[in-house]
Amino acid sequence: LAQATFAPFFPASTRLSAMPKVAIVNTSATQLGSHPTGLWLEECAAPYYKFKEAGFEVVLASTAGGPVPIDAGSMGEGFFTEHGKRFMHDPEAIGGMSHSVKVADLDLSTIDALYMSGGHGTCVDFVENGALKAAIEKVYADNKVVAAVCHGPNCLAQCKKPDGSALVAGGACTGFSNSEEEAVKLTGAVPWLIEDKFKEQGGLYEKGDDWTSKVTV
């Protein structure tokens, strides 16, 4: 799962400040039913360093605030990437992850982009989350950037554009596919299949081969 799908939503008049500030929003959930879960580490660690290297200010946030749980599988053989290892040995990164800002407490006036990381934990607390919904809709309505990876797009299903239509309606979008969910045998555990949900909402869902990267804008 180190390679995952990515779904940024850019309003037509998006403009970023000279030194953008990005909030990486992570799950706070540790269980999906009987399945232990949490953040898929690479999906926070890799963008964290990409944003930092580009000169962005990065805020680590989560639905509940405080320590962010990490899915042990994302540190298993074949999945514990160089970005993940660097993150786990980085005092600043781990400090931010241990004291993450609650989504409801983010000062959205200072945020240029919201990026939602993945992990099956998002299937629990990114769904029907009023604070996250409000943050995404506010950032989008302010012509800033909303992006999500892997299971992170779960949160987009609840969101609306200023005109009341579904956020994904009419736009290219992606996320963890039906076949990928079936492959990890969690089709019956998730609240919905992202691929099906986005198609139902009028999104122009795209996907690559399983376990490969796919970007839509």
Q: Render each residue's pLDDT in the chain as its tens digit; 217 residues.
A: 333 455 666 665 555 556 899 999 999 999 999 999 999 999 999 999 999 999 999 999 999 999 999 999 999 999 999 999 999 999 999 999 999 999 999 999 999 999 999 999 999 999 999 999 999 999 999 999 999 999 999 999 999 999 999 999 999 999 999 999 999 999 999 999 999 999 999 999 999 999 999 999 9
> What is the model's pLDDT at position 4?
45
Nearest to 57 by CA among 68, 45, 48, 44: 48
| Six token digits for residue 110 | 């200072």
pTM of the model: 0.93
Nearest CA to 175 among 58, 28, 9? 9
Whether 203 contacts 7, CB under 8 Å: no
124 Cα distance to chain centroid: 13
Q: Where are the beta strands (DSSP E) in 103-216?
A: 113-116, 145-148, 172-173, 204-205, 214-215
Distance CA 140, CA 168 (A): 12
- Cα–Cα distance for residue pair 52/103, rounded to 1 Å: 20
